[in-house]
Amino acid sequence: MYARSTIVANRTGLHARPASDFIACASKFKSKITIKRVGEDDEANAKSIVMLLSLGLGQGTEVLLTAKGEDEVEAVDTLIELIDSKFGED
């Protein structure tokens, strides 16, 4: 298992287009990937748009990504980079 945290920095958070980009990226990996707010118990399957949107992850939210599987390190690191890139937003 591999995990890392980061802060959602883009203005819209993980909603609509950024969430769709996140799901598309997560779906490329074989590992089981979850995402949750740091300090909370509710976690979501990082490959499910419905579950991801249900978390309501807005700007400034600290999130923890966890993956378990053969490509777990690459999966988490890639998704962290995507979040840190602000999904191409200013």
Tokens of 35: 């995402």
Task: Quote the DSSP letter at residue 14.
Answer: S
Please report, as a single letter, which amino acid is at residue 26: A
Task: Quote the DSSP letter at residue 85.
Answer: T
Q: How far is CA 77 from the centre of its chain?
A: 10
The one catalytic residue in 4, 15, 32, 86 is: 15
* Sheet arrangement for strand 32-37: 2-7, 62-68, 32-37, 43-45
Q: Is 58 a catalytic residue?
A: no
Residues annotated as catalytic (active site), given as ranges: 15
